[in-house]
Amino acid sequence: MINIFLILYWIATVLILIVTIMVIYHIWTYYLNRTLAIFTITLFLGISSLLFLINIIFALKVDWRAVNFLIF
């Protein structure tokens, strides 16, 4: 059985991770000051992981079968 909502959730998660990695890569490579780059990455990753953690907690709590009108 394929749950379309679960697939959409995974696609969004992978996209978020790719963009997060790209943002960190840009900051690390192109910032002209190393200390400032580390500070920015810490701030970005800190809040991103907090938001992502909240997201995962609710994704685990959600009853994916409840949206069974879109299960193939």
Partner 1 sequence: MFSEKKVNFQHRYDDVDFKGKKTDENVILLLRRHWLVFVFRFLPFLLLIIGLAIFHIAGKELLKFVGLNLDLNWFYLIESFLAVFVWLALFITWINFYLDVWIVTDLRIVDIEQVALFSRNISELKHNKIQDVTSEVQGVIPTLFKYGDVFIQTAGNKQRFTFKQIPNPTNTRNIIMQLQKKAILKEKRTEGEILRGKA
Residues lying near partner 1 in the complex (CB under 8 A):
12, 16, 19-20, 22-23, 26-27, 30-33, 44, 47-48, 51-52, 54-55, 58-59, 61-63, 66
CB of 44 to partner 1, least distance (A): 6
Backbone angles phi, psi at 71, to 5 degrees: -90, 130
CB of 69 to partner 1, least distance (A): 14
CB of 60 to partner 1, least distance (A): 9
User: Closest CB to partner 1 among 2 and 34?
Assistant: 34
CA distance 69 to 41: 41
Contact yes or no for 70/3 (Cβ under 8 A): yes
Contact yes or no for 4/68 (Cβ under 8 A): no
